[in-house]
Structure 1
Amino acid sequence: MKIVVLAIGKTDESWVQDGIDKYSKRLKHYVSFEFVIIPDLKNRKNLSEVQQKEQEGKLILKQVHNTDALILLDEKGKDFDSISFSNFLQEKMNSGIKRLLFVIGGPYGFSSEVY
């Protein structure tokens, strides 16, 4: 199984990028892993929240394959402690899923098409 983290926009904070790099390197010893950044929208200051979510949603959905297990990371989701998250990942690995796709949305969340 491959684990992919998909994020809208890159960070300006070097310490965040350092953490991404560090944990990406660590994870690759245990599982196929990739961190993918979808660039921020151009002219997003001229777009409404709804327009931003719709355009980001289209970019997200272009990255999703039919066979992916899609996990949206937002305030509506479940909270996991370390053990529960580990069990969740193990269940997904055992289920035969080829790609587990975690998605970090933009500042306004996800469009209804992504949900």
Structure 2
Amino acid sequence: MQLSLIAIGTTGQPWVRDGLDMYNTRLGRYTKYSYIETPNLKGKFAKADPARVMKEEAA
């Protein structure tokens, strides 16, 4: 099994990065783990209401 954590946007807070590093260390002992950080959203859904985005994606 392989786990992937996908973060949208940057992790600007140092305590978030520290937590991710600790999570990576702990999980790495038991399974394959990867962390993927994507850039901030641009375009149509950048400043959209999350409920509306989910509704449009479901259609």
> Same fold, TM exceeding 0.5?
yes
In 2, the alpha carbon distance for the partners of 1:11 and 1:5 equals: 13
Q: Which runs of 4+ in 1 moved over 4 A?
A: none
Superposed CA RMSD: 2.6
State the identity %.
Answer: 31
Number of the residue aligned with 1:37: 37
Cα 1:114–1:25, aligned 2, differ >3 Å: closer, same or farther? farther
Q: Give 1:1-115 correspondences, 5 Å limit.
A: 1-41=1-41, 44=42, 51-52=44-45, 108-109=49-50, 111=54, 112-113=56-57
- Using structure 1 for the length normalisation, give the TM-score: 0.40
Name the CA shift for 1:21/1:10 in 2 (closer, same or farther; >3 Å).
Answer: same
| Structure 2: gaps (5+ residues) | none
Q: Which runs of 5+ in 1 are unaligned?
A: 54-106
TM-score by length of 2: 0.70
CA drift of 1:5 comes to 0.9
Amino acid paired to 2:40 = D
Relative distance call for 1:26 and 1:12 in structure 2 (3 A) is same
Residues in 2 aligned to 1:11 and 1:108: alpha-carbon distance in whole angstroms: 21
